[in-house]
Amino acid sequence: MFYKFISCIFLSIFIFAMGCSDAPNLGQQSYIGAASIGDLVALELNGNRFKISGLVGKLKNTDKSGTLEPKAGFPKHVFTSPEYPDFTLVVTPEAIAYYLKEFGKFVVGVPRKSQNYDTSKISTLYNYVSQDYENVNYGTFRLEKNNQWSVWRKRNGLNLGHNQADFFGTWSDSGQGYIVALVEGSDPKYAGQFTKGEVFAHLMLNTNGLLVIDLVALNGIAVGAPQKVIDPLKAYKTYDVMSPLVDKLYSATVEGNTITVLDNTFDIQYNQPWAGFLTESENRLGHGFKGIVSPDQRTFFGIDRLVDILGYAPGVIFAAIGREGEQP
């Protein structure tokens, strides 16, 4: 009788384990990021559980939590949640991106640091793409060792000074996983838009230099990467595209100088309008997308017309995440 009892216990454990075999185990991971509505958020992963918390902004002191399960029809790094049917989470070694309409809509995050950033490693010029209440933008963003920052919209700030920037100010790092950028001044054409000393943005970086910006003063999000010449994308062939407008993922295929989305193929120009950007040739109604590539080429972030052909309105930021195992 005793042995039968023990056997039943082991059989029950085996059946339970088999039934739970599809549950992902992501270990314990902590991310911090920016929401497309202009809020600072944190995401915690623990096994197959997640928790999203608002840190600054409209979502402050609110959170959502639930369980994760693989998203059918997508690679193993893509998840959804039975508690939130519109939730889509993509996890890569260097960043996460998620869509959840009721909590920030579209979020990009990086692993959260528990100590100050190394100023010597993050002080450089970044290309960026952004979406805010003024629609979409691109340009350059510089972090300097003297704790100054500068933004040049639609301009390459490589050879431009701090006083030639559209926006500029000072930054500080208190070791909470993000940098606070304060407004010092702006181009006269933005007169009255900002108050000196107000928070312009929160900045977060991963170890490879991917920059995520919570645009506090502009109610938006920006993503940047160090400015450097890029070669045609070779690390990944198929990318899953995510944006703030819908919870669905669509695939894009990159082959050399072309990109194909939903049977539409377009030419790509590399290092245009300057080093580090990839740009779709402007042959669709005079528009084309502009994007930046993450340091390991796993993800590229862009704005505008790439997602418009999927039926979206023009003027939106997107993340395109490479499918592991589908490298050329």
pLDDT of amino acid 314: 54
Tens-place pLDDT, residues 90-148: 988 788 999 988 787 899 999 998 899 999 999 999 999 999 876 889 999 999 999 99
- Residue 46, amino acid: N
Q: What is the CATH number of domain 119-226?
A: 2.40.128.490
Q: Do domains 28-108 and 119-226 have the same CATH topology?
A: yes
Question: What dihedral angle (degrees, nearest 10) is formed by the CA atoms of 195, 201, 202, 207?
Answer: -140
Tens-place pLDDT, residues 201-231: 999 999 889 999 999 999 999 999 999 998 8
Tell me: pLDDT of 181 over 90. Answer: yes
Residue 256 or 167, more confident: 167
**Residue 25, token pair as written in the block:** 């185990």
**Residue 176, token pair as written in the block:** 């909470």
Which of 170, 175, 177 minimizes the C-alpha distance to 198?
170
Tens-place pLDDT, residues 13-45: 333 333 344 678 889 999 999 998 889 999 999
Tell me: pLDDT of 155 over 60. Answer: yes
Q: What is the CATH number of domain 28-108?
A: 2.40.128
The ranges assigned to domains in the chain are 28-108, 119-226, 238-322
